[in-house]
Amino acid sequence: MRIQNQVPLAECTTLGVGGRAEYLVEATDETEVVEALDWAARHQVPYRILGGGSNVVIADGGFDGLVIHVASRGVVWDARPDSVEVTAAAGEPWDSLVAESVGRGYSGLECLSGIPGQVGATPIQNVGAYGQEVAACIARVRAFDRQLGQAIVLPAADCDFDYRDSRFKSAEPGRFVVLSVTFQLGTDGCAHPCYPQLVRHLEARGVPSPTAREVRESVLSIRREKSMLADPDDPNGRSCGSFFVNPVVSAEFASRATRDFPDAPSYPQPDGRVKLAAAWLIEQAGFPRGHRQGHAGLSARHALALVAHAGASANDIVTLARSIRAAVEARFGIRLMPEPAFWGFASLDDGLPDDRLA
């Protein structure tokens, strides 16, 4: 294990902003991850886990601690009579795993195509898109438990998955470091998309009963149209994807908040609540696609993606995010919650750095 000093972090993230890490280590296997955690404990420095850098905003002043860049690799396929289990190391690129699962004729991950980042981040955020959540396919998560000081295996039922949330993210943040994830996938290659936009796209292609491969093709096409694929040549590409979580509120509150907008997009949830579209709320609050505020702005193709244009700083991004959240709250009474993690900021206010920016 080699500890590096004063390492620039901006180039390690899809947003491309932020300062340096005081220390950084590339952990290529589970042993090095544990060694790095032990080093941080012995030297009494805070640490952060870095995967693909697609869901993090790093302060301009950097992070005064140890960044553990998880670079472990390895995928094992285990066929069962009516399903297949695939175990992937935390450092495996996520979309490569999705592509291989679809290429092998397996279903369950196809709607999650094109999402940047690594496997280890998916259970933390309970990554989801186009009507699919990764929790639906996770069989178990192997993680290092810092409280017990050893690696353990958590069945999916013990991960407390919820909409864009999990035990790893909210209930016990910092306790677990994901080492690998095991997914259970279908073997018939059939897919059953339910997300309206995706269904319409498939029907327009003349594919009413799609395979997982055909769903992946449509998802990638839709994401490309929204500039939601990692593409260095896309002027909207320097982002961390969806910046805010779609709010889930009571049906009564949703009706009251959008009473002046009878056509407001809303999605009933199994528990009776309603999910509202954060992108729609943002645009109605006065922040259209392509909006610019200094060097930061909204994607010209999707109002939910905050873009770091040339010369942007982390503070530029956070200042725009705070303006958007304040406007949505004033207009609809809904306080948007950010999706990305924030490193190196003085303090957070409901997940978003407050006005004491570092």
Distance of alpha carbon 83 from the chain centroid: 26
Of 202, 114, 120, residue with least CA distance to 166: 120
Please confirm, yes or no, whether 242 is among the known catalytic residues: yes
Q: What CA dihedral angle connects 10, 14, 17 and 18, to 10 degrees?
A: -50
Strands 20-27 and 296-298: unpaired
Choose the catalytic residue: 164, 167, 216, 223: 164
d(CA 155, CA 91): 20
Question: How far is it between the farthest Cα atoms of the chain?
Answer: 60
d(CA 266, CA 254): 8
Please confirm, yes or no, whether 356 is among the known catalytic residues: no
Task: Indicate the length of the chain as a whole number.
Answer: 358
Please confirm, yes or no, whether 32 is among the known catalytic residues: no
Choose the catalytic residue: 242, 266, 299, 313: 242
3-state secondary structure of 340: coil
Token reading at 116: 């940047």
The catalytic residues are: 164, 242, 339
